[in-house]
Amino acid sequence: LRQQLSSRRYYQRPDQDYLRLDPSRTSLSGWTGGFGLSKVSGRHWLWYVESGFESPGLELNDAGRISTADGRFHGAGITYRETVPGRRYRSYFVSLNTNGEWNLDNDRQGLNARLNGGVTWRNQWQTELSLSSAFRSQDMRLTRGGPSMGTPASWTAVAVMRSNFAAAQQWSARVYYQRTELGGRTYRLSGGLTIRPGSRWLLSASPNYFRAINPQQYVGAIADSAATATYGTRYLFGRIEQSEWSVPIRFNYAFTPDLTLELFLQPFIASGRFDRFGELSAPRAMRIRVYGEAPGTSADSTDASGTSWFTADGATVTIARRDFNRVSFRSNVVLRWEWRPGSTLFVVWQQNRDEAGERGEPVRIPDLLRGLRASGNQFFAVKVTYWIAG
């Protein structure tokens, strides 16, 4: 029963008639398959086509991994490349591909088209640009087991720059931007810097900033017989504005080839603020019915704890505060000594600090240091392996 109700398949969805929830069932059976054909050699033109399917009852997590079942997917792509160096470049490529997925009830779960291009310059630096578009689709998982819900069209652009991989000092930079027809926005700035001052040293940092506005964030569900359009349940959503900062840092030093010290630090901060709460108006709808704006609804009050009360069609809807802030700081220090071939001593010190709140304020770079003052736990271990010669 848990497998039927899980997010991998949601047999209980009320708006479908091709699956049957059976509490007495003691096993699941399913099938999967696929087909692919590709051209991977040649100077200029490469291409591929592929298709596959998974039945709703497919369950592989005992032996492998499957995140979702119930789907038919198709894809195709073509690439033009030049590998003979020119005056300003060593190589370049341009590719166009498309991918789509439908469930076994023929509801489109996603369809996108993407144009990619990249250049490797004479100094071995690389530049890549990607432009993609996703079309309106359905998502049978947005309501967490309720009816299918529409997803908006979106447009995405990604730009990447990288330095020479073989250089002692390496860097990379990536910019990601996405917007949707419902006003959703996603911004991500990330990069990396690796410095090798000598053969014994390595220092690297990979900062990452993320900010997103999602007008379709699931909040919860409440039973209400008056909500006849959505099968006696109100599926609640809100708009969330999220922000995150993360800076993983690594430091490695080799005293000798057999004695090394490795240090890893990761300060992390995140926040989320909710507003514009509402409900799914009907199965397969894309826009939510915002409380206080849609006819027949009102936004009544919010108390000091952040709990809000709304009225929808004469019924009272209560939503607890969802805003959050989280700060964490994780670190590992590992001393490794191989005192004889195959015999090694590890000394490990690990700490994990974290703090949570409900302010929902956008994060700032100075907040990364707050994790050092947060409470947490520490872990110390010594491991020894000894090789017995044969």
Query: For the segment 214-256, what is each residue's pLDDT rounded down to a tens digit?
Result: 999 999 999 999 899 999 999 999 999 999 999 999 999 999 9
- What is the average pLDDT value for the chain, to the nearest integer? 94
| Residue 367: per-residue pLDDT | 87
Quote the pTM value.
Answer: 0.89
Report the pLDDT value the prediction gives residue 260, as an integer from 0 to 100: 97
Question: 59 falls in which pLDDT band (50, 70, 90)?
Answer: confident
**Confidence tier at 390 by pLDDT (50, 70, 90):** low
Evaluate if residue 30 carries a pLDDT over 80: yes
The span from the CA of 349 to the CA of 75, in Å, is 47
- Closest residue by Cα to residue 151 from 101, 93, 82, 202: 101
Distance (Å, rounded) from C-alpha 190 to C-alpha 244? 11
Burial string for 149-160 (b: 16+ CB within 10 Å, else e) reads bbbbbbebebeb
Higher-pLDDT residue of 48, 367: 48
Closest of 151, 61, 137, 146 to residue 103, by C-alpha: 137
Amino acid present at 225:
S
Query: Which residues, listed in sequence order, are joined to residue 6 by a DSSP beta bridge?
Result: none
In the chain, the percentage of residues whose pLDDT exceeds 90 is 86
154 pLDDT more than 80: yes
Only one residue has tokens 């922000």, namely: 243
State the Cα–Cα distance between residues 54 and 358, nearest whole angstrom: 41
Task: Give how far the C-alpha of residue 329 lies from the chain's centroid of Cα atoms, to the nearest Å.
Answer: 21
pLDDT on residue 56? 93
Inform me whether the pLDDT recorded for 41 exceeds 80: yes
- pLDDT at residue 343 greater than cutoff 70: yes
The SS3 of residue 230 is helix
When pLDDT is averaged across residues 9-32 and rounded to a whole number, the result is: 92
Lookup: tokens for 192 = 């990396």
List the beta strands (DSSP E) in 247-375.
249-256, 259-280, 288-290, 297-302, 308-312, 315-319, 324-340, 343-357
| CA distance linking residue 350 with residue 332, whole number of Å | 4
Taking CA atoms, 53 is separated from 101, 103, 151, 187, 375, in Å, by 9, 9, 22, 33, 48
The whole-number pLDDT of residue 67 equals 84
* Confidence check: pLDDT of 389 > 80: no
Give CA–CA dist 139/116, Å, rounded.
Answer: 26
Taking CA atoms, 39 is separated from 50, 73, 103, 317, in Å, by: 12, 20, 28, 57
Do the beta carbons of residue 114 and residue 97 sit within 8 Å?
A: yes
If DSSP codes are grouped into helix, strand and coil, which group holds residue 3? helix
pLDDT tens for 84-125 read: 999 999 999 999 999 999 999 999 999 999 999 999 999 999
Instruction: Locate 248 and state its tokens.
Output: 């993983």
pLDDT reported for residue 90: 95
**How many other C-beta atoms can be found within 10 angstroms of the C-beta atom of residue 109?**
20
